[in-house]
Amino acid sequence: MDATVRSFTPLRDRSRPAAPQVFDVLRDEIISLTLPPGTVLNRGELQEQFGVSSTPIRDALLRLQEEGFVDIFPQHATVVSAIDLAAASQSQFLRRSVEVEVVRTLAETPNPDLVARLRSILARQEALAALGELDDFNTLDSLFHQTLYEAARVPDLWTIVRRNSGQIDRLRRLHLPVDGKARQIVADHAAILEAIAAGECDVADRALRAHLSRSLAFSAEMRTRHPGYFRD
């Protein structure tokens, strides 16, 4: 097991309870693989780094355990969990089921303003891919999809999907540095965008399905490269 790999900034937003803030930070760090599987989370160190008492840390870690991001061994250690491929598969099924309907809805009545917003995001993604700025690229990846949900007037479904997509999101982030992956995402987004702009529902459906299936299909190779990162 690895030691905690980074320090965190003390919490400054006094308008929100501390535990959800700690949870949000740790969840983001786990999904981005800044805290990879096997990382030990020391509660005392987290208290000191976040500048909070033991209770918010405990509550945040319990919530992370509920979502499958950490394993808690009482009186021993809290460890970032391995990527659960069965949970990732279910997450992919949920997101694909919802998002296919989102893109079909948008393609039924193409909106020029939406198309312009998506093209702007895509152009920025292309630039970041060329620079190898993968963290910012990944942020725009999420923004591209969130924009689709908002345009379809189902923003709450994006929240639900994101809340249940942690395992597949970790797999996607692990896949992202593979040569050609960022370019493939840009190409997929372009295909989805152009299908929506052209009002081609079936084409948008197929493009979205292909896009959301690639990382899970690549999981066997990822498992070979990172054998300690996965569990069935």
- Residues 39-85 have pLDDT tens digits of 999 999 999 989 999 999 999 999 999 999 999 998 788 999 999 99
pLDDT at 6: 64
Q: Does domain 18-81 have CATH number 1.10.10.10?
A: yes
- At position 146, the amino acid (one-letter code) is Q
CATH of 84-231, one of 1.10.10.10, 3.10.129.10, 3.10.20.30, 1.20.120.530: 1.20.120.530
Q: What are phi and psi of 8, to 5 degrees?
A: -120, 150
Confidence of residue 3 (pLDDT cuts 50, 70, 90): very low
What is the C-alpha radius of gyration for the chain, rounded to an integer number of angstroms? 19
Out of 6-10, 100-104, 211-215, which region has the weakest mean confidence (pLDDT)? 6-10
Assign 1 a pLDDT band (cuts: 50, 70, 90): very low
Residue ranges, CATH 1.20.120.530, the chain: 84-231
Backbone angles phi, psi at 83, to 5 degrees: -70, 125
- Confidence check: pLDDT of 218 > 90: no
Answer whether residue 189 shows pLDDT above 80: yes
pLDDT in tens, 20-49: 999 999 999 999 999 999 999 999 999 998
Domain with CATH 1.10.10.10 in the chain: 18-81
Which is more confident, 123 or 12?
123
User: pTM of the entire structure?
Assistant: 0.87
**pLDDT of amino acid 16:** 82
Using an 8 Å Cβ cutoff, are 180 and 232 in contact? no
Name all contacts of 224-231 with Cβ < 8 Å and 24+ positions apart.
Answer: 226/174, 228/37, 228/38, 228/82, 229/36, 229/37, 229/38, 229/82, 229/83, 229/174, 230/37, 230/82, 230/83, 230/85, 231/81, 231/82, 231/83, 231/84, 231/85
The pLDDT confidence band at residue 106, using thresholds 50, 70 and 90, is very high
Mean pLDDT (the chain) is 92
